[in-house]
Amino acid sequence: MKIPLQERIRSDFEGRILSGELAPGARLPIEQELMVAYGCSRMTVNKALSALAQAGLIDRRKRAGTFVARPKVHSMVLDVPDLAAQVRGRGQSYRYVLLRRARRRPDPERPAEGALAGGGDLVEVDGLHEADGVPLAIERRLVSADAVPAYAEADFLHESPGSWLLQHVPWTEAENRISAVGASVSEADHLKVVPGTPCLCVERRTWRGAEGITNVRLLFVGEAYDLIARFGPSQPG
């Protein structure tokens, strides 16, 4: 049976993407080039590309072109993940870029900062997470200097603050708050997106017993990260 041309186009590019011939982020030929290469109409090409996009294999960006989709990084909603390990687990290279570090007093107009500091100082660290050299998330992290004295001197040139904390400071309780926000001008500049681009915001607090450890705000490029929760039915009381 003769395979419809749109299926042949879809199958050709699916095979090239899954084999690695076309790497994540690679640009596909424009529609006119595909029409010439396959001797078909724009509608046929569009149907093939739509099928690839629906399968999550390509991203079609208005006025920019069509690109091989970058793999998403997945995280459990109820977990405190090691972002570096997640990125590497997807077969991507990971890099953390330290943007700023400062030790300061908590802001009296922000009760959560006072509760975290517990009467002491806070260490504030801003950084950028990259996957395959592409910005994935921008992070602002506050850590209690009294709860984690060694944090102020830790080297974050080769390891992210989150990875360091998971390895050195056990936590007993965590709280996640998830929302969708538009990137500010400065955030967009670091993430290399247009200001106002929808992003996934994850705010997390962790404790060790009654002692606060860290408050962190992570802003992810929306199309590059998702959160997953898997659970079963609750048991009757």
Crossing angle (nearest 10°) for helices 5-18 and 31-38 = 110
pTM to 2 decimals?
0.67
State how far the Cα of 152 lies from the Cα of 167, in Å rounded to an integer: 15
Rounded to 5°, angle at Cα 135 from 134 and 140: 160
pLDDT of the chain, 237 residues: tens digit per residue: 567 899 889 889 988 887 778 887 889 999 999 999 999 999 999 999 998 887 778 888 887 889 988 766 555 555 677 888 888 888 889 999 999 999 999 999 999 999 999 999 999 999 999 999 999 999 999 999 998 988 988 888 888 999 999 888 877 788 889 899 999 999 999 999 999 999 999 999 998 877 899 999 999 987 776 655 555 564 444
Q: Indicate whether 58 and 128 sit together in one domain.
A: no
CATH number, domain with residue 195: 3.40.1410.10
pLDDT on residue 72:
60
State whether 61 and 91 are in the same domain: no
**Final residue before a domain boundary, out of 68, 88, 121:** 68
Instruction: Kindly report the CATH number assigned to the domain that includes residue 61.
Output: 1.10.10.10
Shared domain for 86 and 173, answered yes or no, is yes
Domain assignment of residue 236, yes or no: no
Number of folded domains that form the chain: 2
How many angstroms separate the Cα of 77 from the Cα of each of 66, 84, 157, 204? 31, 17, 28, 11
Asked if the structure places residue 23 within a domain, the reply is yes
Burial class (CB in 10 A: 0-12, 13-18, 19+), 231: exposed
Q: Are residues 58 and 118 in the same domain?
A: no
Q: What pLDDT is stored for residue 63 in this prediction? A: 79
**Of the residues 15, 48, 68, which one is the last residue of a structural domain?**
68
What's the pLDDT at 11?
85
Residue ending a domain, choose from 52, 68, 84 = 68
The per-residue pLDDT for 71 is 62
Is 237 within a domain?
Answer: no
Kindly state whether residues 61 and 101 are assigned to the same domain. Answer: no
The pLDDT value recorded for residue 136 is 92
Asked if residue 183 and residue 105 are part of one domain, the reply reads yes
